[in-house]
């Protein structure tokens, strides 16, 4: 599987298994597994719904932050990334 295909697969998996905002425990676990399998170092912060990873090394540092906010929805799924769980 190409890197692009892997990214698409991960995106679909996340969208098919949504979690409410500040309750993204399973999402965090998935992302943790993906980053660790890619050889990234996770920093030991005690976060339930987030994580921090080191990418590379050197004198210069850049920080990236990504949030995944989700509100409950009763809309009917109509696409490939449609959720598979209720909510």
pLDDT tens, position by position, 19-77: 888 889 999 999 999 999 999 999 999 888 989 988 888 898 888 777 766 666 666 65
d(CA 25, CA 49): 5
Q: Which residue has the higher pLDDT, 14 or 65?
A: 14
Q: Residue 87 has what pLDDT?
A: 56
Domain of residue 20: give its range.
Answer: 1-87
Measured in residues, the chain has a length of 87
Number of domains, the chain: 1
Q: Is the pLDDT of residue 18 over 60?
A: yes
Q: What is the token pair recorded at 9?
A: 């697969």
Q: Which residue has the higher pLDDT, 6 or 74?
A: 6
Rounded CA-CA distance 23/52 in Å is: 17
Which tokens in the block code for residue 46?
């005690």
Q: What is the pLDDT of residue 31?
A: 93
Backbone angles phi, psi at 41, to 5 degrees: -90, 125
């Amino acid at each position: 599987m190409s890197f692009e295909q892997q990214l698409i697969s991960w995106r679909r998996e996340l969208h098919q298994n949504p979690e409410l905002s500040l309750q993204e425990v399973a999402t965090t676990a998935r992302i943790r597994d993906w980053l660790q399998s890619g050889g990234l170092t996770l920093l030991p912060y005690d976060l339930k719904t987030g994580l921090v990873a080191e990418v590379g090394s050197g004198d210069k540092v850049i920080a990236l932050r990504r949030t995944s906010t989700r509100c409950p929805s009763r809309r009917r799924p109509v696409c490939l990334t449609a959720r598979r769980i209720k909510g």
